[in-house]
Amino acid sequence: MISPDAARNVVGIIGNVISFGLFLAPVPTFWRICKRKDVEEFKADPYLATLLNCMLWVFYGIPVVHPNSILVVTINGIGLLVEGTYLLIFFLYSPNKKRLRMCAVLGVELVFMLAVILGVLLGAHTHEKRSMIVGILCVFFGSIMYFSPLTIMGKVIKTKSVEYMPFFLSLVCFLNGVCWTAYALIRFDIYVTIPNGLGALFGAIQLILYACYYRTTPKKTKAAKDVEMPSVVVSGTGAAAAAGGGNTGGGSVSVTVER
């Protein structure tokens, strides 16, 4: 019979794969930015938020804070590299006003992370206390990001159209939440359960809305349009799982919608 630790690792690896896929979802948007050498109306906010989320979860997963959480560190470390690349591209093709704003927000995030790191390492002297402090911060920011799809869901109900809520992205977000919730329940971790439980819940609601309003959605034409779709990536391992115990970042994912 498979042991709980082995089962948790298997689920965590599957969650890492799903989360990695969500990190790559905005690639078409940045390919468009590179080709046009212009960020147009796209905003860096979702990627800055995801970057902070990843930094928090990487810190949560290191041995001095929460031991045995290598999967948390790996997926969120990858998230840092991916989001950093997105932000670099965004910086290169943004006007000076947007660049200054990006630098200001990034500066605030780095100062905040430095304060968290120093405060936790110097003020808390046990793994339990350190995990609790950083875990609460991760849950707080992760849960806020999980509420972002509410905007899209409200638009779907109002317009009776799922045009701006792609089925595949909603399904992957649902599976991501379910996977990391299961991971958290194998070795119960409240910090993993809360954000990923919310992710699974909102993902399920999106799928239900899709089923309800798919038939009333206007037929698509040949014109294509980029749409920013709020989503959250969560990942992790050890007692603390990705989105809750070692969560990755969430943000707006751009997808191309034919209409």
pLDDT tens-digit map of 126-177:
999 999 999 999 998 887 777 766 777 888 888 888 877 778 888 888 998 8
Report the distance separating Cα 244 and Cα 259, nearest Å.
37
Residue 256's pLDDT band, with cuts at 50, 70 and 90, is very low
**Amino acid 129: pLDDT:** 93
What is the β-pairing status of strands 250-258 and 224-232? antiparallel
Reported as type and span, the H/E element at residue 191 is helix 190-213
Tell me if residue 68 falls in helix, strand or coil: coil
Alpha carbons 43 and 90: distance in angstroms, whole number? 9
pLDDT average, residue stretch 91-114? 94
- Report the range of poorest mean pLDDT among 28-32, 57-61, 133-137, 248-252: 248-252
| pLDDT digit string, tens, across residues 15-36 | 899 989 888 888 888 998 999 9
List the helix and strand counts (H, then E) for the chain. Answer: 10, 2
Question: Rounded to an integer, what distance in angstroms lies between the CA atom of residue 72 and that of residue 173?
Answer: 18
At 164-222, the pLDDT tens digits run 777 888 888 899 889 988 888 887 878 878 888 888 898 899 899 989 888 888 776 54
C-alpha to C-alpha distance for 244 and 239, rounded to whole angstroms: 10
3-state secondary structure at position 171? helix
Residue 165's Cβ-count burial label (10 Å; 0-12, 13-18, 19+) is: buried
Radius of gyration of the chain (CA): 18
Mean pLDDT over all residues of the chain? 80
Q: Calculate the alpha carbon distances from 222 to 30, 127, 225, 231, 257 in Å.
A: 21, 56, 10, 26, 10
